[in-house]
Structures are given as structure tokens and as C-alpha cells.
Amino acid sequence: MISGMAQVLRLVPVVPRETDISASIVDAIVRLGLGVVTRYNSGAVVRNGRFVRFNNAPGHSDLGGVLRRKTPGRAFYLEVKRPGKEPTPEQETFLEDRRACGAIAERVDSVEQALIALGFPELLAPSRRT
């Protein structure tokens, strides 16, 4: 209490950053030996007075790789989003194009969703296998 008044606390849920979710997914894939994974970055820099873009493929997924277990050699692409956020139309098109070629291509917002998308729900605790 402050000066006879009840102090009110406002609790705000912590929503993980996309980069933290991506790092956790990469860590899980590597530690569990599920495959080889690459984190794709995009952006631009000024180099020698020139504007240079890198990874400028429209809608390219955040993570991509190849599975080592269960379906060895199968490509995967994961678009990582914060909970409640959806991919852009370009990202949806990128994922759809990869699915059409036989790759796993999904939007995920957690390690659990990534493991399910990659076909490894059995690696989750029984209560999280939905």
C-alpha cells in the first residue's frame, strides 16, 4: 500500500520475439539430430556507396533445411511468426510453391509447432501432442 491506497499491478503477458522463437527451433532441430537447418536473413546495406540487398527472394521463409531422420533428404521451410501473427501474401505464396514441389512448408510460432510440422510429434511431451 502506498499512502493508504491499494497498489494495482498490471500483468502483461510476455510474447517471445520472432528471433528467439527461430533460435529455439534451430536449437531443437540440431540437438535432436533431425536435420540440417539454415536461418535466412534479409535486408540491405550500403557498401562502397552502393545499396546492396541480400536474400531478396520475395517471401522467403525464415528457416530452411533438409531432414536427416524419418524422411531423409526431404526439404523443409518454416515461416516463423509471433503467436497470433500471420504470414504476408508473399510468404504464403513462397510456402505454397514449396509444398507443391513436395517440401514441408509451414507457418509456426513455437518449437512444438515446428516439431509437429516436421513430422516428429512423438518428441513432444504427451500433453503437448495436439
Domain 18-128 indexed as CATH 3.40.1350.10: yes
Q: Confirm whether pTM is higher than 0.85.
A: no
Segment 90-106, tens digit of pLDDT: 999 999 999 999 999 99
Segment 9-68, tens digit of pLDDT: 788 778 899 999 999 999 999 999 999 999 987 777 788 888 777 766 789 999 999 999
Ranges of each domain in the chain: 18-128
Residue labelled with grid coordinates 516436421: 118
- Reduce the DSSP state of residue 129 to 3 states and report it: coil
- Pairing relationship of beta strands 75-80 and 63-67 according to DSSP bridges: antiparallel
How high is the pLDDT of residue 14?
Answer: 84
